[in-house]
Amino acid sequence: MSIRKIYPYTETVLRQKAQPVEVFDEELQILIDDMVETMRVAPGVGLAAPQVGVSKRVIVVEFGNEDDDSIPKQLYALVNPEIVSQSEETILGIEGCLSVPEFIGEVERAQVVTVRGQDRHGKNVKIRAEGWLARIFQHEIDHINGVLYTDRAEQIWHPDQDEDEMETT
């Protein structure tokens, strides 16, 4: 595994719709492993392949219980993910992005989403996510569709010291 460069928002790969993955080979496994390591070192809670310069529909998400650190984090590696349903109920929340450093913004997202895709071996999976986890999935799936959170943000600003310590997707 190796740490990959995280591309900034100015790179064109972040504005293109990523290509579907059709072959689940060793190259894909290396990409996923590298993305997980890169996300953890950054540190972040999610990362999409375009953020490391690869125009493929691959995301990784690592989510833990905000209220209980004794519960282990859950790692998701999804290939060709798509949101197949979402709640009408939305919530406004603060997001950051590893590709848009030094800024955060308020983004309205669905409170609940159902995500369908494949695991790293090509097996079909379906995940129902709520709250913060739903927000992370929406943020990362936006990335593989060429959309940045700044496109959806109601306002964007430089965080102060306290806000700077929040987790970034």
Neighbouring C-beta atoms of residue 94, cutoff 10 Å: 15
Neighbour-count burial of 127, counting CB atoms closer than 10 A to its CB (0-12 exposed, 13-18 middle, 19+ buried): middle
The pLDDT of residue 69? 72
CB 166 within 8 A of CB 104: yes
Going by the DSSP 8-state scheme, the letter that residue 123 receives in this structure is -
87 Rama sector, left if φ>0, alpha if ψ -120 to 50, beta otherwise: beta
Residues involved in catalysis: 140
User: How many angstroms separate the most distant Cα atoms in the chain?
Assistant: 44
Single pTM value for the model: 0.91
The pLDDT of residue 72? 86
In terms of CATH, what superfamily is 12-165? Peptide deformylase (3.90.45.10)
Please, what's the b/e burial string for 19-46 (b: 16 or more CB within 10 A of its CB; e: otherwise)? eebeeeeeebeebbebbbbbbbebebbb
The pLDDT of residue 169? 60
Residues in the chain where the model's pLDDT stays below 70: 65-68, 161-169
